[in-house]
Amino acid sequence: MKTQRLLADAGDLENPASKQSIRQAAEILRGGGTVAFPTETVYGLGANALDARAVAKIFEAKQRPNWDPLIVHVADVAMLDALTVQVPESARRLIEAFWPGPLTLLLPKNQQVPDIVTAGLPRVGLRMPAHPVARALLQAARVPVAAPSANTFGRTSPTTAEHVAQDLEGRIDAILDGGETTHGVESTVVAVSDEGCVIFRPGVITLEQIRAVCGGEVALRTSGLPGEEVPAESPGLSLRHYAPRARLVLIEGEGAEQQAAFGEAAQECEQQGESLGLMLPDAFQNAVIGRTARVFHWGKWSDPEQLAQRLYAGLRWLDAGGATVIVCPVPAGEGIAVAIRDRLRKAARR
């Protein structure tokens, strides 16, 4: 299969070339094909969510097991209403506060949604993306679009069209290239009922933000740590995921101690003759002076938004450079740092 490359300028969707790309991509989706497209979080691999045969192509291209459900992207709230049986009041409030944006709501599905989309589960994950290219595409396609991250199953998510091509060139119909994504980590996945909210995947919209709007209990139930309970309600979030090819060594902790541990781990890997890659935030530079390593300058340690935005690009770049081991400090704190920790810990699983 030949994968078409379509360009859309996120800053100028009115120009004729961008319009043409959006139109073509929408045609492919309406015709039952697969298109990778940018969202504000990561690139997604889309297909018409109402067409089970089209959705099957996503699983095939990604080599994704059929028990792992897909998020459905909608252009407006009317599309959400057409796919669900009942939307609780707290979900309406979350939509009001965070849509369009990086929040996925798990809501009871109706029979419009093919079982393949939800892997047979009773709820469907729904989100309205904020990225201008994604919005234009959904409006042009006029169908809900099922889209997981556009990477080979289990691997690092893509934040550029190039990353998508690395994994899926020749396996999908088109890549709609709208430049680098904004946030760099995925949406927050939340199950909403009248009793409260359960977060299955921490993401760009933080626990604190959801608490402020949801009302009732807000629980965090991710299996971010080995040995933690695996939530059967959201099976895909349990495994090794987001992973580079290289072995990933995480350095937890805080302050001077964490910096010293980072330096020691780097030295150890170098002495073992490994091809060392470093995820290197500014605050950790002094700890690794003199080491021979491929270095990804991750960004400002005090700026978790920037660390999130550059996380996957860094892991992919070190992988591509032939690193056999990647040493990476784990950010502490709340907010989007929770999502960074979740992704790193899952990526480090063996």
Residues that bind Mg ion (CB under 5 A): 149
* Shortest Å, Cβ 141 to ligand TXA: 15
Of 187, 206, 259, 309, the residue at the interface with ligand TXA (CB under 6 A) is 187
Please count the CA atoms within 13 angstroms of the CA of 125 that sit on its side-chain side. Answer: 27
Q: Which is nearer to ligand TXA, 233 or 268 (CB)?
A: 233
- 106 touching ligand TXA, by CB under 6 A: yes
β partners of residue 219 = 198
Distances (CA, A) of 197 to 69, 83, 156, 161, 220: 19, 20, 28, 34, 9
Least distance between ligand TXA and beta carbon 178 (Å): 13
**Measured from the CB atom, is 48 or 187 closer to Mg ion?**
187
Least distance from Mg ion to the Cβ atom of residue 345, Å: 15
The torsion angles phi and psi of 218, rounded to 5 degrees, stand at -125, 115
Q: By CB under 6 A, tell whether 42 contacts ligand TXA.
A: yes
Report, in Å, the least distance between residue 267 CB and Mg ion: 34
Instruction: Choose which of 57, 123, 131, 316 interacts with ligand TXA (CB under 6 A).
Output: 123
Q: Restricting to residues 225-284, name those near ligand TXA by CB under 6 A.
A: 233-237
C-beta separation of 126 from 75 below 8 A: no
Based on the shown chain and the rule CB under 6 A, indicate whether residue 58 belongs to the binding site for ligand TXA.
no
Are 164 and 35 in contact, with CB atoms under 8 Å apart? no
**Choosing among Mg ion, ligand TXA, none, which partner's interface includes residue 70 (Cβ < 5 to 8 Å by kind)?**
ligand TXA
| Number of separate helices (H) and strands (E) present in the chain | 11, 15
Among residues 33, 101, 125, 314, which is the contact residue for ligand TXA, using CB under 6 A?
125
Tokens representing residue 211 in the block: 């608490």
Record the tokens describing residue 109, joined without a space. Answer: 């599905």
Smallest distance from ligand TXA to CB 271, Å:
37
Please select the residue that binds ligand TXA; options are 118, 156, 222, 309, rule is CB under 6 A.
118
Q: In what order do the strands lie in the sheet with 217-220?
A: 4-7, 174-177, 35-38, 43-48, 145-146, 71-73, 123-127, 103-108, 188-193, 196-201, 217-220
| Residue count (the chain) | 350
State which residue, 277 or 343, has the beta carbon closest to ligand TXA.
Answer: 343
Give the DSSP per-residue string, 124-152.
EEEE----HHHHHHHHHH-S-EE--BSSS
69 contributes a contact to ligand TXA by CB under 6 A: yes
81-88, long-range: CB within 8 Å, 24+ apart, which pairs?
Answer: 82/112, 82/144, 83/49, 83/109, 83/110, 83/112, 83/113, 83/124, 83/126, 83/144, 84/108, 84/109, 84/110, 84/124, 84/126, 85/109, 85/110, 88/192, 88/193, 88/194
Instruction: Determine the residue with CB nearest ligand TXA.
Output: 236
Least distance from C-beta 157 to Mg ion, angstroms?
6
Size of the site for ligand TXA (CB under 6 A): 28
Smallest gap from Cβ 256 to ligand TXA, in A, equals 35
Whole-angstrom distance, CA of residue 296 vs CA of residue 313 = 9
Distance CA 288, CA 241 (A): 28
Residues within window 191-230 making contact with ligand TXA, judged by CB under 6 A: 201
Select 39 or 258, whichever has its Cβ closest to Mg ion: 39
Binder of ligand TXA out of 148, 224, 299, 331 (CB under 6 A):
148
The CB-of-39 to Mg ion minimum distance in angstroms stands at 12
Among 24, 39, 48, 159, binds ligand TXA (CB under 6 A): 39
Residues that bind ligand TXA in the complex, under the rule CB under 6 A: 39, 41-42, 44, 68-71, 102, 104, 106, 118, 121, 123-125, 147-149, 186-187, 189, 201, 233-237
